Protein backbone atom coordinates (compact mmCIF):
# COMPACT_ATOMS: atom_id res chain seq x y z
CA UNK A 1 0.00 0.00 0.00
CA UNK A 2 1.30 3.46 -0.81
CA UNK A 3 1.05 5.68 2.24
CA UNK A 4 -0.72 9.00 1.87
CA UNK A 5 0.45 11.38 4.60
CA UNK A 6 -2.24 13.97 3.91
CA UNK A 7 -5.28 11.68 4.10
CA UNK A 8 -6.18 8.02 4.64
CA UNK A 9 -8.56 5.52 3.12
CA UNK A 10 -10.93 3.49 5.33
CA UNK A 11 -8.67 0.41 4.81
CA UNK A 12 -5.59 2.35 5.87
CA UNK A 13 -7.42 3.55 8.95
CA UNK A 14 -7.89 -0.07 10.09
CA UNK A 15 -4.48 -1.48 9.09
CA UNK A 16 -1.45 -1.23 11.42
CA UNK A 17 0.61 1.94 11.20
CA UNK A 18 4.00 0.60 10.10
CA UNK A 19 7.10 2.19 11.63
CA UNK A 20 10.47 1.53 9.96
CA UNK A 21 13.11 1.81 12.69
CA UNK A 22 16.65 2.89 11.77
CA UNK A 23 18.92 2.13 14.75
CA UNK A 24 18.35 -0.27 17.63
CA UNK A 25 20.73 1.01 20.31
CA UNK A 26 19.97 2.76 23.63
CA UNK A 27 17.01 4.76 22.28
CA UNK A 28 16.01 2.54 19.34
CA UNK A 29 15.81 -0.57 21.55
CA UNK A 30 13.75 1.27 24.17
CA UNK A 31 11.52 2.68 21.42
CA UNK A 32 10.74 -0.78 19.99
CA UNK A 33 9.76 -1.99 23.49
CA UNK A 34 7.64 1.08 24.15
CA UNK A 35 5.73 0.70 20.85
CA UNK A 36 4.75 -2.81 21.87
CA UNK A 37 3.81 -1.75 25.39
CA UNK A 38 1.71 1.24 24.27
CA UNK A 39 0.19 -0.12 21.02
CA UNK A 40 -3.23 -0.95 22.52
CA UNK A 41 -3.57 2.45 24.20
CA UNK A 42 -2.52 4.30 21.03
CA UNK A 43 -4.95 2.27 18.89
CA UNK A 44 -7.76 3.14 21.29
CA UNK A 45 -6.77 6.81 21.11
CA UNK A 46 -6.10 7.38 17.38
CA UNK A 47 -7.74 4.38 15.68
CA UNK A 48 -4.57 2.76 14.34
CA UNK A 49 -2.15 0.37 15.94
CA UNK A 50 1.56 1.26 15.58
CA UNK A 51 3.97 -1.60 14.93
CA UNK A 52 7.68 -1.74 14.17
CA UNK A 53 7.69 -3.20 10.67
CA UNK A 54 11.47 -3.36 10.15
CA UNK A 55 14.73 -2.63 11.99
CA UNK A 56 18.04 -1.47 10.55
CA UNK A 57 21.38 -1.75 12.36
CA UNK A 58 24.91 -2.15 11.01
CA UNK A 59 24.44 -5.91 11.00
CA UNK A 60 20.77 -6.44 10.14
CA UNK A 61 18.05 -5.13 7.89
CA UNK A 62 17.97 -3.52 4.44
CA UNK A 63 17.00 0.15 4.18
CA UNK A 64 15.13 -0.11 0.84
CA UNK A 65 13.11 -3.05 2.13
CA UNK A 66 12.31 -1.30 5.44
CA UNK A 67 11.25 1.84 3.55
CA UNK A 68 9.00 -0.13 1.21
CA UNK A 69 7.15 -1.63 4.20
CA UNK A 70 6.71 1.50 6.35
CA UNK A 71 4.25 4.36 6.71
CA UNK A 72 6.72 6.38 8.78
CA UNK A 73 10.47 6.16 9.41
CA UNK A 74 12.07 6.70 12.84
CA UNK A 75 15.77 7.57 12.60
CA UNK A 76 17.72 6.68 15.79
CA UNK A 77 21.14 5.90 14.32
CA UNK A 78 22.83 9.22 15.10
CA UNK A 79 25.61 10.89 13.06
CA UNK A 80 25.11 12.65 9.75
CA UNK A 81 25.69 9.91 7.15
CA UNK A 82 23.97 7.70 6.22
CA UNK A 83 21.23 9.22 8.46
CA UNK A 84 20.87 12.23 6.13
CA UNK A 85 20.62 10.10 3.00
CA UNK A 86 18.03 7.76 4.55
CA UNK A 87 15.89 10.59 5.97
CA UNK A 88 15.89 12.39 2.59
CA UNK A 89 15.01 9.18 0.73
CA UNK A 90 12.20 8.40 3.18
CA UNK A 91 10.67 11.88 2.80
CA UNK A 92 11.21 11.74 -0.97
CA UNK A 93 9.03 8.63 -1.02
CA UNK A 94 6.28 10.28 1.00
CA UNK A 95 7.07 8.99 4.51
CA UNK A 96 6.83 11.09 7.63
CA UNK A 97 10.11 11.02 9.57
CA UNK A 98 10.78 11.24 13.32
CA UNK A 99 14.38 11.73 14.47
CA UNK A 100 16.29 12.43 17.69
CA UNK A 101 19.42 13.44 15.78
CA UNK A 102 20.69 16.91 16.77
CA UNK A 103 23.90 16.61 14.71
CA UNK A 104 21.85 16.02 11.58
CA UNK A 105 19.40 18.88 12.20
CA UNK A 106 22.02 21.42 13.31
CA UNK A 107 24.05 20.81 10.14
CA UNK A 108 21.48 19.92 7.46
CA UNK A 109 18.26 21.30 8.96
CA UNK A 110 17.32 23.55 6.00
CA UNK A 111 17.82 20.79 3.43
CA UNK A 112 15.64 18.47 5.51
CA UNK A 113 12.91 21.05 6.27
CA UNK A 114 12.79 21.94 2.53
CA UNK A 115 12.41 18.26 1.66
CA UNK A 116 9.61 17.84 4.23
CA UNK A 117 7.73 20.84 2.81
CA UNK A 118 8.16 19.90 -0.83
CA UNK A 119 7.06 16.30 -0.22
CA UNK A 120 4.15 17.29 2.05
CA UNK A 121 5.38 15.13 4.93
CA UNK A 122 6.19 15.79 8.56
CA UNK A 123 9.69 15.89 10.01
CA UNK A 124 9.41 15.72 13.80
CA UNK A 125 12.35 15.98 16.19
CA UNK A 126 11.21 16.58 19.78
CA UNK A 127 13.86 14.27 21.27
CA UNK A 128 16.72 16.06 19.45
CA UNK A 129 16.70 19.13 21.68
CA UNK A 130 16.20 18.66 25.40
CA UNK A 131 15.48 14.98 25.96
CA UNK A 132 11.92 14.55 27.13
CA UNK A 133 11.28 18.26 27.75
CA UNK A 134 8.67 19.20 25.09
CA UNK A 135 10.39 22.41 24.01
CA UNK A 136 10.00 21.82 20.26
CA UNK A 137 6.27 21.19 20.44
CA UNK A 138 5.67 24.15 22.74
CA UNK A 139 7.63 26.54 20.51
CA UNK A 140 6.40 25.25 17.14
CA UNK A 141 2.76 24.81 18.17
CA UNK A 142 1.67 26.34 21.49
CA UNK A 143 3.78 29.50 21.02
CA UNK A 144 3.46 29.73 17.22
CA UNK A 145 1.74 33.11 17.61
CA UNK A 146 4.10 34.54 20.26
CA UNK A 147 7.02 36.81 19.39
CA UNK A 148 9.84 35.02 21.21
CA UNK A 149 12.56 37.36 22.47
CA UNK A 150 14.91 34.98 24.22
CA UNK A 151 15.45 31.29 24.98
CA UNK A 152 17.77 30.01 27.68
CA UNK A 153 18.45 26.30 27.96
CA UNK A 154 20.23 23.79 30.13
CA UNK A 155 20.21 21.33 27.26
CA UNK A 156 23.00 18.94 28.21
CA UNK A 157 22.32 16.58 31.12
CA UNK A 158 25.93 15.36 31.41
CA UNK A 159 27.41 18.78 32.11
CA UNK A 160 24.54 19.75 34.40
CA UNK A 161 25.16 16.58 36.42
CA UNK A 162 28.91 17.31 36.70
CA UNK A 163 28.40 20.94 37.75
CA UNK A 164 25.67 19.96 40.25
CA UNK A 165 28.00 17.37 41.80
CA UNK A 166 30.91 19.85 41.99
CA UNK A 167 28.62 22.28 43.85
CA UNK A 168 27.12 19.61 46.12
CA UNK A 169 30.35 17.84 47.13
CA UNK A 170 33.12 20.37 46.52
CA UNK A 171 34.90 17.71 44.40
CA UNK A 172 36.99 18.54 41.32
CA UNK A 173 35.78 18.55 37.71
CA UNK A 174 37.84 15.41 37.00
CA UNK A 175 36.32 13.46 39.93
CA UNK A 176 32.76 14.46 39.02
CA UNK A 177 33.33 13.55 35.35
CA UNK A 178 34.53 10.09 36.45
CA UNK A 179 31.42 9.70 38.60
CA UNK A 180 29.20 10.71 35.64
CA UNK A 181 30.93 8.07 33.48
CA UNK A 182 30.46 5.38 36.16
CA UNK A 183 26.73 6.22 36.40
CA UNK A 184 26.30 6.15 32.60
CA UNK A 185 25.57 9.91 32.33
CA UNK A 186 28.79 10.57 30.38
CA UNK A 187 30.29 8.68 27.44
CA UNK A 188 33.80 7.17 27.56
CA UNK A 189 34.77 10.05 25.26
CA UNK A 190 32.85 12.98 26.81
CA UNK A 191 34.25 15.66 24.46
CA UNK A 192 30.98 16.53 22.65
CA UNK A 193 29.25 17.13 25.99
CA UNK A 194 31.91 18.83 28.11
CA UNK A 195 33.12 21.08 25.25
CA UNK A 196 29.63 22.56 24.88
CA UNK A 197 29.27 21.35 21.26
CA UNK A 198 26.30 19.09 21.99
CA UNK A 199 24.52 22.04 23.65
CA UNK A 200 25.49 24.30 20.70
CA UNK A 201 23.77 21.89 18.26
CA UNK A 202 20.60 21.97 20.34
CA UNK A 203 20.66 25.78 20.65
CA UNK A 204 21.02 26.08 16.84
CA UNK A 205 17.81 24.04 16.51
CA UNK A 206 16.01 26.03 19.22
CA UNK A 207 17.04 29.32 17.55
CA UNK A 208 15.53 28.07 14.26
CA UNK A 209 12.24 27.39 16.05
CA UNK A 210 12.25 30.60 18.11
CA UNK A 211 13.20 33.07 15.37
CA UNK A 212 12.66 31.21 12.08
CA UNK A 213 16.30 31.87 11.10
CA UNK A 214 18.65 29.17 9.83
CA UNK A 215 21.53 28.68 12.29
CA UNK A 216 24.31 26.14 11.63
CA UNK A 217 26.11 24.59 14.62
CA UNK A 218 29.40 26.09 13.37
CA UNK A 219 27.90 29.58 13.85
CA UNK A 220 27.27 28.98 17.57
CA UNK A 221 30.22 30.04 19.77
CA UNK A 222 30.53 27.58 22.61
CA UNK A 223 32.65 27.25 25.72
CA UNK A 224 32.84 24.07 27.79
CA UNK A 225 33.14 23.28 31.47
CA UNK A 226 36.58 21.60 31.54
CA UNK A 227 38.34 24.67 32.98
CA UNK A 228 35.93 25.28 35.88
CA UNK A 229 37.18 24.78 39.43
CA UNK A 230 35.47 23.81 42.68
CA UNK A 231 36.98 26.98 44.10
CA UNK A 232 35.05 29.18 41.63
CA UNK A 233 31.86 27.47 42.70
CA UNK A 234 32.63 27.87 46.41
CA UNK A 235 33.35 31.60 46.09
CA UNK A 236 30.32 32.15 43.93
CA UNK A 237 28.09 30.49 46.48
CA UNK A 238 29.05 33.27 48.91
CA UNK A 239 27.71 35.71 46.34
CA UNK A 240 24.45 33.73 46.02
CA UNK A 241 25.33 32.22 42.63
CA UNK A 242 25.10 28.72 41.14
CA UNK A 243 26.99 27.53 38.06
CA UNK A 244 25.32 26.00 34.96
CA UNK A 245 26.19 25.43 31.29
CA UNK A 246 23.54 27.57 29.60
CA UNK A 247 22.71 28.09 25.94
CA UNK A 248 21.21 31.42 24.95
CA UNK A 249 19.36 32.37 21.76
CA UNK A 250 18.10 35.95 21.73
CA UNK A 251 17.09 38.85 19.56
CA UNK A 252 19.74 41.60 19.55
CA UNK A 253 18.77 44.71 17.59
CA UNK A 254 17.84 43.57 14.07
CA UNK A 255 19.68 40.25 14.44
CA UNK A 256 20.01 37.30 16.75
CA UNK A 257 22.78 35.92 18.97
CA UNK A 258 23.19 32.24 19.83
CA UNK A 259 25.88 30.91 22.16
CA UNK A 260 26.72 28.44 24.94
CA UNK A 261 28.77 29.30 28.03
CA UNK A 262 29.14 28.31 31.65
CA UNK A 263 27.23 30.99 33.53
CA UNK A 264 26.51 31.90 37.10
CA UNK A 265 22.85 32.31 37.99
CA UNK A 266 21.30 34.13 40.92
CA UNK A 267 19.15 31.89 43.10
CA UNK A 268 15.85 33.33 41.81
CA UNK A 269 16.58 32.51 38.14
CA UNK A 270 14.27 29.72 36.93
CA UNK A 271 17.25 27.65 35.77
CA UNK A 272 19.18 27.96 39.06
CA UNK A 273 17.38 25.06 40.73
CA UNK A 274 17.69 22.63 37.78
CA UNK A 275 20.10 20.01 39.13
CA UNK A 276 21.54 16.63 38.18
CA UNK A 277 21.00 15.17 34.70
CA UNK A 278 17.87 17.30 34.15
CA UNK A 279 17.35 19.71 31.26
CA UNK A 280 15.28 22.89 31.21
CA UNK A 281 14.31 25.54 28.69
CA UNK A 282 13.11 29.04 29.53
CA UNK A 283 11.20 30.91 26.82
CA UNK A 284 10.60 34.67 27.08
CA UNK A 285 8.06 36.60 25.07
CA UNK A 286 6.01 39.72 25.87
CA UNK A 287 2.82 37.74 25.18
CA UNK A 288 3.55 35.02 27.74
CA UNK A 289 6.12 36.67 30.05
CA UNK A 290 8.15 33.56 30.71
CA UNK A 291 7.65 29.78 30.50
CA UNK A 292 10.08 27.24 31.94
CA UNK A 293 9.91 23.58 30.95
CA UNK A 294 12.09 21.03 32.70
CA UNK A 295 12.52 17.27 32.89
CA UNK A 296 14.91 14.38 32.27
CA UNK A 297 17.56 15.29 29.70
CA UNK A 298 18.37 11.85 28.32
CA UNK A 299 18.08 8.11 28.86
CA UNK A 300 16.83 5.39 26.53
CA UNK A 301 13.26 4.97 27.78
CA UNK A 302 12.73 8.69 28.44
CA UNK A 303 13.95 9.68 24.98
CA UNK A 304 11.94 6.85 23.41
CA UNK A 305 8.81 8.31 25.02
CA UNK A 306 9.41 11.66 23.28
CA UNK A 307 10.03 9.84 19.98
CA UNK A 308 6.81 7.85 20.28
CA UNK A 309 4.93 11.06 21.11
CA UNK A 310 6.12 12.42 17.75
CA UNK A 311 5.04 9.22 15.98
CA UNK A 312 1.54 9.48 17.45
CA UNK A 313 1.33 13.16 16.39
CA UNK A 314 2.34 12.19 12.85
CA UNK A 315 -0.40 9.51 12.78
CA UNK A 316 -2.98 12.26 13.13
CA UNK A 317 -3.34 14.65 10.15
CA UNK A 318 -2.99 17.48 9.25
CA UNK A 319 0.79 17.51 8.82
CA UNK A 320 2.75 20.40 10.25
CA UNK A 321 5.94 21.53 8.53
CA UNK A 322 8.69 24.00 9.42
CA UNK A 323 8.26 27.11 7.19
CA UNK A 324 11.18 28.41 5.04
CA UNK A 325 13.94 30.19 7.01
CA UNK A 326 13.95 33.99 7.31
CA UNK A 327 17.15 36.00 7.00
CA UNK A 328 18.45 37.44 10.30
CA UNK A 329 22.07 38.51 10.91
CA UNK A 330 23.96 36.67 13.66
CA UNK A 331 25.30 39.16 16.21
CA UNK A 332 28.50 38.21 18.05
CA UNK A 333 29.02 41.19 20.43
CA UNK A 334 26.48 40.98 23.24
CA UNK A 335 26.06 42.39 26.72
CA UNK A 336 26.52 40.23 29.81
CA UNK A 337 27.27 40.40 33.49
CA UNK A 338 30.55 38.74 34.55
CA UNK A 339 32.23 37.08 37.53
CA UNK A 340 35.98 37.74 37.83
CA UNK A 341 38.30 35.83 40.18
CA UNK A 342 41.77 37.32 40.80
CA UNK A 343 44.66 35.86 42.77
CA UNK A 344 46.56 38.90 44.04
CA UNK A 345 49.29 39.98 46.45
CA UNK A 346 47.74 41.13 49.71
CA UNK A 347 48.75 44.77 49.88
CA UNK A 348 47.00 48.13 50.16
CA UNK A 349 45.47 49.69 47.06
CA UNK A 350 44.80 46.45 45.13
CA UNK A 351 41.03 46.82 45.12
CA UNK A 352 41.28 50.53 44.28
CA UNK A 353 43.49 49.90 41.21
CA UNK A 354 41.26 47.13 39.90
CA UNK A 355 38.17 49.28 40.48
CA UNK A 356 39.80 52.20 38.67
CA UNK A 357 40.49 50.13 35.54
CA UNK A 358 36.97 48.75 35.56
CA UNK A 359 35.60 52.28 35.98
CA UNK A 360 37.68 53.56 33.03
CA UNK A 361 36.07 50.90 30.80
CA UNK A 362 32.61 51.75 32.11
CA UNK A 363 32.29 48.44 34.00
CA UNK A 364 30.37 48.79 37.25
CA UNK A 365 30.83 46.33 40.11
CA UNK A 366 27.81 44.68 41.67
CA UNK A 367 29.45 42.71 44.51
CA UNK A 368 32.89 41.85 45.89
CA UNK A 369 34.39 39.13 48.08
CA UNK A 370 37.95 39.79 49.34
CA UNK A 371 40.17 37.32 51.19
CA UNK A 372 43.63 38.26 52.46
CA UNK A 373 46.17 35.43 52.76
CA UNK A 374 49.62 37.04 52.31
CA UNK A 375 50.77 36.52 48.74
CA UNK A 376 47.77 34.29 48.12
CA UNK A 377 44.92 36.78 48.49
CA UNK A 378 41.73 36.54 46.40
CA UNK A 379 39.51 39.20 44.94
CA UNK A 380 36.22 37.91 43.53
CA UNK A 381 33.84 40.37 41.86
CA UNK A 382 30.54 40.26 40.01
CA UNK A 383 29.87 43.06 37.49
CA UNK A 384 26.67 44.66 36.31
CA UNK A 385 25.80 43.92 32.63
CA UNK A 386 28.33 45.44 30.21
CA UNK A 387 29.21 45.02 26.49
CA UNK A 388 31.61 42.05 26.45
CA UNK A 389 34.32 43.93 24.51
CA UNK A 390 34.57 46.62 27.21
CA UNK A 391 34.85 44.05 29.98
CA UNK A 392 37.49 42.01 28.09
CA UNK A 393 39.53 45.20 27.56
CA UNK A 394 39.46 45.85 31.34
CA UNK A 395 40.51 42.24 32.08
CA UNK A 396 43.41 42.60 29.64
CA UNK A 397 44.65 45.65 31.59
CA UNK A 398 44.08 44.00 34.98
CA UNK A 399 46.00 40.82 34.10
CA UNK A 400 49.09 42.98 33.43
CA UNK A 401 49.08 44.57 36.95
CA UNK A 402 52.16 43.45 38.91
CA UNK A 403 50.15 42.27 41.93
CA UNK A 404 48.00 39.88 39.88
CA UNK A 405 49.46 36.39 40.53
CA UNK A 406 47.76 34.27 37.85
CA UNK A 407 45.42 34.49 34.86
CA UNK A 408 42.10 36.15 35.87
CA UNK A 409 39.22 33.65 35.76
CA UNK A 410 36.14 35.04 34.05
CA UNK A 411 32.69 33.45 33.85
CA UNK A 412 29.42 34.96 32.66
CA UNK A 413 26.58 35.67 35.09
CA UNK A 414 23.05 35.37 33.79
CA UNK A 415 20.61 37.85 35.28
CA UNK A 416 16.84 37.69 35.11
CA UNK A 417 16.38 40.34 32.43
CA UNK A 418 12.71 39.99 31.64
CA UNK A 419 10.63 43.02 32.66
CA UNK A 420 7.55 41.76 34.42
Ligand X SMILES: NC(=O)c1ccc[n+]([C@@H]2O[C@H](COP(=O)([O-])OP(=O)(O)OC[C@H]3O[C@@H](n4cnc5c(N)ncnc54)[C@H](OP(=O)(O)O)[C@@H]3O)[C@@H](O)[C@H]2O)c1
Nearest Cα to 135, choosing from 213, 201, 206? 206
HSE value, Cβ hemisphere, 13 Å, CA-based, for 22: 29
Measuring CA to CA, how many Å separate 276 from each of 134, 183, 265?
19, 12, 16
Which one, 77 or 87, has the nearer CB to ligand X?
A: 77
Which one, 158 or 242, has the nearer CB to ligand X?
A: 158
| Single residue of 38, 46, 49, 57 touching ligand X by CB under 6 A | 57
Residue tagged active-site, from 18, 48, 150, 202: 202
Q: Tell me how far apart the alpha carbons of residues 8 and 323 are, in angstroms, rounded to a whole number.
A: 24
Q: Tell me how far apart the alpha carbons of residues 418 and 149 are, in angstroms, rounded to a whole number.
A: 10
196 lies in the site for ligand X, by CB under 6 A = no
80 lies in the site for ligand X, by CB under 6 A = no
Q: Tell me how far apart the alpha carbons of residues 197 and 390 are, in angstroms, rounded to a whole number.
A: 27
Q: Tell me how far apart the alpha carbons of residues 263 and 261 are, in angstroms, rounded to a whole number.
A: 6
303 lies in the site for ligand X, by CB under 6 A = yes
Radius of gyration of the chain (CA): 24
| Buried residues in 127-163 as b, exposed as e (16+ CB within 10 A) | bbbbbbbbbbbbbbeebeebebbbbbbbbbbbbbbbb
56 lies in the site for ligand X, by CB under 6 A = yes
| Single residue of 34, 66, 127, 265 touching ligand X by CB under 6 A | 127
| Single residue of 21, 32, 34, 77 touching ligand X by CB under 6 A | 77
Which one, 97 or 298, has the nearer CB to ligand X?
A: 298
Which residues inside 213-242 make contact with ligand X, applying CB under 6 A?
A: none
101 lies in the site for ligand X, by CB under 6 A = yes
User: Which x/- pattern, by CB under 6 A, does the window 275-294 give for ligand X?
Assistant: --------------------
Nearest residue relative to ligand X (C-beta): 25
| Single residue of 17, 18, 20, 28 touching ligand X by CB under 6 A | 28
Which one, 157 or 270, has the nearer CB to ligand X?
A: 157
| Single residue of 5, 20, 109, 131 touching ligand X by CB under 6 A | 131
Q: Tell me how far apart the alpha carbons of residues 170 and 236 are, in angstroms, rounded to a whole number.
A: 12
For this structure, is 244 an active site residue?
Answer: no
Which one, 22 or 344, has the nearer CB to ligand X?
A: 22
Q: Tell me how far apart the alpha carbons of residues 33 and 378 are, in angstroms, rounded to a whole number.
A: 55
Measuring CA to CA, how many Å separate 167 from each of 21, 175, 176, 227?
40, 12, 10, 15
> Catalytic residue numbers?
202
Q: Residue numbers of the site for ligand X (CB under 6 A)?
A: 23-28, 56-59, 76-78, 82, 100-102, 127, 131, 298-300, 303
Amino acid sequence: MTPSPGGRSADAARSPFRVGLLGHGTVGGAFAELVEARADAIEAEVGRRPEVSGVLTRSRGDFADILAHSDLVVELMGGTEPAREYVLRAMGEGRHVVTANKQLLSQFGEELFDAARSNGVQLRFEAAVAGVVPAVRVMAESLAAAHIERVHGIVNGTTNFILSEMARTGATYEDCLREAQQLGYAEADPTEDVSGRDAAAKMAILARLAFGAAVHIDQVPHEGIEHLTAEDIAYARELGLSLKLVGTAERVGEGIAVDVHPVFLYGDHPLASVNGAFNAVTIESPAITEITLSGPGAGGSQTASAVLGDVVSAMIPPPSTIPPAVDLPLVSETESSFYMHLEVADRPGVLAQVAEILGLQGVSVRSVVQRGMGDDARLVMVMHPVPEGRFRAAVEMIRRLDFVRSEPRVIRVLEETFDQ
